């Protein structure tokens, strides 16, 4: 027997001893008339979840849910897949007291946001209620505002140029083993400079390593399994991290402390300079112009260690892959790049329709956050389907953006093909597009992230001829939508 089989056997025994004692749910009466993926007796879909992961289980649920909804039982927990656009919008519009990202931390839950809280503490992700409106609006003004992003443009451009030039240094060509590493480091450096005045934020690889660890743990089933066992046997206080999670959390705190030291050094050396963004966020949410940050700003320093830079990096990587596969579309984009002043914010931000279409198409075909979920806290009824469906507390509602974005029903027979032209002149309202979420909890920084991805992509394309080594890159659905293997690229500096 392999170690993984031993682990599975041990977990199975513990689950039999522990989880079976939870109140059982008669799946035949849970959602009458809704297709069910039955799985195994008692365990339901749990073996599929543990063996293949949540994305694979979602795929099976989507396959049987012809009317846009289906469900599975996971050891007494009900997991519902909503993959009809109207249902997805309805769930997104539910207030936090009805449906939140975490649910009750005192009961067993498979929400990745539940794991995320233990790893990084409180953040914008898990805050609920009307008190979150002001911090969200502050963040939107800072990152989803054209004037604010224009002020950041020179910083983005400089860091993009520095990181692009570093690919070959003084040479003219280079073989890059994994362009995602470079793209992620650009984004990490950008966030470091923008927030703290620390353009060396990426050096040493500590931030990237921590980020990868957090993302992996948040998306894997095992942390939730072990935590639920510990919670059942009262080996851990509900909501508090385990010993290993607390150790990782200390690593996060150490990096944040270093960034705050960089910020204070920058402020001391530049007393008349404009405030760095983290200080602006702090002041806008009750903090002073020096000293400790506000609660909201402090929470964001933890969240930013993994949130934000992967969306930029993966957007660039998938763009390079698709443009290399479609040279006629790359040529069309290059013609547009050569026809404008890419060093001018207005032209790059709003005078490049084909670039915008390419970025939109990448976000459709390869959404970095390919799915999200809500935990039902209060009984409610879904009314947007063919028949009303009652949802009860504890149910996990998964919403697959990737399915909506690649469904031939909504996007036509070429739904799985990179066709930027579909976004020229707008799209039909019946075509669902939710790369940045939907409703009152959509992404509060997507315009900044999109601008950064556009700048770095254009800088790379205008500096180099890029040739992706392989054309067999496939999507890996974990917490984020990644590639199944490194993306090797040959870069040749343009004359």
Question: How far apart are alpha carbons 399 and 338 in whole angstroms?
Answer: 40
Q: Is the CB of residue 262 less than 8 Å from the CB of residue 198?
A: yes
3-state SS assignment for residue 2: coil
Q: Residue 40 carries which DSSP code?
A: B
Strands 99-100 and 173-176: unpaired
Question: How far apart are alpha carbons 187 and 204 in whole angstroms?
Answer: 15
Q: Residue 432 carries which DSSP code?
A: -
Beta bridge partner(s), residue 72: 37, 79
Q: Is the CB of residue 135 less than 8 Å from the CB of residue 439?
A: no
Q: Is 82 annotated as a binding residue?
A: no
Strands 380-382 and 173-176: unpaired
Question: How far apart are alpha carbons 117 and 375 in whole angstroms?
Answer: 15
3-state SS assignment for residue 124: coil
Q: Which of 404, 408, 379, 409 is nearest to 391 (CA)?
A: 379
Q: Is the CB of residue 183 less than 8 Å from the CB of residue 159?
A: no
Residues 6+ apart with CB under 8 A from 110: 49, 54, 74, 77, 79, 221, 224, 396
Q: Which of 50, 79, 32 is nearest to 374 (CA)?
A: 79
Exposure letters 383-393 (e unless 16+ CB within 10 A, then b): ebbeeebebee
Q: In 10 A of CB 4, how many CB atoms? A: 9
54-60: Cβ within 8 A, 24+ apart: 54/110, 54/219, 54/221, 54/371, 54/398, 55/370, 55/371, 55/477, 55/478, 56/477, 58/371, 58/398, 58/400, 58/403
Q: Is the CB of residue 212 less than 8 Å from the CB of residue 250?
A: no
Helical spans, DSSP H, in 270-365: 277-284, 295-303, 309-325, 327-339, 345-350, 353-365
Stated as kind and residue range, the H or E segment containing 263 is helix 243-269
Question: How far apart are alpha carbons 395 and 374 in whole angstroms?
Answer: 8
Binding residues for heme: 443
Q: Which residues are annotated as a binding site?
A: 443
């Amino acid at each position: 027997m392999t170690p993984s089989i031993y682990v599975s056997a041990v977990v199975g025994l513990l689950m039999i001893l522990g989880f079976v004692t939870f109140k059982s749910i008669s799946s035949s009466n849970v959602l009458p008339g809704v297709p069910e993926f039955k799985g195994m007796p008692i365990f339901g879909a749990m073996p599929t979840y543990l063996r293949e992961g949540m994305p694979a289980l979602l795929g099976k649920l989507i396959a049987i849910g012809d009317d846009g909804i289906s469900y599975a039982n996971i050891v007494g927990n009900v997991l519902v897949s909503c993959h009809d656009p109207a249902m997805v919008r309805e769930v997104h519009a539910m207030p936090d007291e009805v449906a939140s990202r975490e649910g009750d931390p005192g009961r067993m839950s498979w929400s990745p946001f539940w794991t995320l809280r233990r790893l990084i503490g409180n953040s914008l992700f898990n805050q609920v209620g009307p008190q979150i409106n002001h911090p969200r609006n502050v963040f939107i003004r800072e990152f989803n505002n054209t004037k604010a992003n224009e002020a950041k443009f020179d910083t983005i451009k400089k860091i993009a140029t520095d990181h692009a030039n570093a690919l070959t240094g003084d040479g003219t060509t280079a073989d890059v083993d994994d362009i995602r590493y470079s793209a992620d480091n650009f984004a990490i450096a950008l966030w470091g400079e923008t927030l703290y005045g620390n353009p060396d934020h990426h050096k040493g690889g500590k931030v990237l390593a921590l980020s990868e660890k957090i993302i992996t743990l948040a998306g894997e089933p095992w942390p939730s399994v072990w935590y639920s066992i510990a919670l059942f046997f009262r080996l851990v206080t509900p909501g508090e991290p385990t010993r290993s999670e607390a150790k990782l959390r200390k690593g996060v705190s150490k990096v944040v402390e270093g960034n705050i030291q960089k910020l204070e050094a920058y402020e001391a050396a530049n007393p008349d300079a404009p405030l760095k963004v983290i200080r602006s966020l702090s002041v806008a949410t009750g903090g002073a112009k020096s000293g400790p940050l506000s609660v909201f700003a402090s929470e964001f320093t933890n969240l930013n260690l993994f949130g934000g830079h992967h969306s930029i990096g993966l957007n660039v990587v998938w763009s390079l892959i698709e443009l290399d596969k479609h040279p006629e579309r790359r040529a069309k984009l290059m013609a547009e790049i050569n026809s404008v002043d890419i060093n001018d914010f207005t032209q790059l931000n709003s005078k490049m329709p084909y670039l915008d279409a390419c970025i939109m198409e990448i976000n459709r075909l390869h959404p970095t956050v390919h799915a999200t979920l809500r935990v039902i806290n209060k009984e409610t009824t879904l009314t947007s389907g063919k028949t009303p469906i009652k949802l009860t507390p504890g149910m996990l509602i998964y919403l697959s953006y990737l399915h909506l974005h690649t469904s031939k029903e909504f996007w036509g027979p070429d739904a799985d093909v990179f066709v930027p032209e579909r976004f020229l002149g707008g799209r039909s309202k019946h075509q669902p597009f939710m790369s940045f979420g939907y409703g009152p909890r959509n992404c509060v920084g997507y315009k900044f992230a999109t601008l950064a991805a556009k700048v770095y992509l254009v800088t790379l394309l205008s500096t180099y001829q890029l040739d992706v080594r392989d054309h067999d890159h496939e999507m890996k659905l974990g917490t984020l939508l990644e590639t199944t293997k490194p993306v090797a690229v040959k870069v040749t500096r343009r004359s």
